[in-house]
Amino acid sequence: MTNHEQKNSVKMDFSKFKISNNGSALPVTQKVITRVPVSKPGKQQFVRVSTDAEHALDCAILTLEGDDSPYLLSPSIASLVAQDLKIVCLRLTIDRQGNVSLWPVPPMPDDGVENTWNSTQRQVAAMAETKWVRLSSNRAVGCYEAVVAQGDLPEPIWPDLSFEEILTIAFGTTHVIEDRDHPALRKLWGQD
C-alpha cells in the first residue's frame, strides 16, 4: 500500500471544520469603497435612493466624450460652459450588492418646459426611496419606467461615510473643475 493509499484509507474527522450558523466565530470585515460611479443605474440593476437630505447635491456636471466619469463644476465655471453642462441633483444610490453610486437626477426645470424622460427619471428615483426598483427605458412611449422588485428584499445598509467623503471618492481632485486652466476645459475649448 502506497503512502497516498494509506492517507486515503484513514478516516477523516470533519467535525473540526464545523462553523456555527450564527457566524460569531468568523472575523468581521468591512467593505472599503474605492470607486463611486456617477451615472444612472444600469437597466438590470435594482437600486434604492437615500432619503437623507444630506445625501443629495444640486450641481452642474460636464461630461466629455470618451471620458467615463463626469466633472463637477464650480458655479463660476458653470457659467463659462453653459451649453455643455448638465444641471442635476446627485442622489446617493445603493444596489443589491451594496455598491454605492451617485445618480445624476434631472431637476424640475425653472421654465416649466418639461421633458418626459427627465420627469419620469425623477419619478423612478422618488419611488426608489421606498422600494427596490430598476430604471427601464420604454422607447415606444418615450419615457423611463420603474420595475419594482417582487421579492421581500431587506432594507439597504448604507455606508458609514459622510456625503463629502463619497463625493471625494466619486470626483477626486481630477474631476472637479474650479478654474479655467483645467485640462478638461482646455480639451473642450480645443486648446489642447
Q: Are 188 and 64 in contact (CB under 8 A)?
A: yes
Q: Which residues pair with 88 in a beta bridge?
A: 59
Span 36-64, average pLDDT? 96
Cα–Cα nearest to 33, from 103, 74, 90, 93: 93
Q: How confident is the model at residue 31 (pLDDT cuts 50, 70, 90)?
A: confident
Please, are residues 136 and 146 in contact by the beta-carbon 8 Å criterion? yes
- Residue 158's pLDDT band, with cuts at 50, 70 and 90, is very high
Count CB neighbours of 118 within 10 A. Answer: 17
- Given a cut of 80, whether residue 83 has pLDDT beyond it is yes
How far apart are alpha carbons 102 and 50 in whole angstroms? 10
pLDDT computed for residue 1 by the predictor: 56
Displacement of CA 90 from its chain's centroid (Å)? 10
**Which pLDDT score, from 0 to 100, does residue 114 have?**
86
Q: Which residues, 6+ apart, have CB-to-CB distance to 177 below 8 Å?
A: 62, 71, 72, 73, 74, 77, 184, 185
Consecutive H or E run containing 103? strand 100-105
- CB count within 10 Å of CB 159 equals 19
Residue 94: Cβ within 10 Å count: 20
Q: What is the share, in percent, of the chain residues with pLDDT greater than 70?
A: 91
pLDDT band for 27, please (50, 70, 90 cuts): low
pLDDT confidence bin for 23, thresholds 50/70/90: low
Q: What is the 3-state secondary structure (H, E, C) of 44-70?
A: CCCEEECCCHHHEEEEEEECCCCCCCC
Taken as a whole, the chain contains a residue count of 192
Which 3 state secondary structure label does DSSP give 86?
strand
Q: Rounded to an integer, what distance in angstroms lies between the CA atom of residue 51 and that of residue 66?
A: 32
Q: Is the pLDDT of residue 25 over 70?
A: no
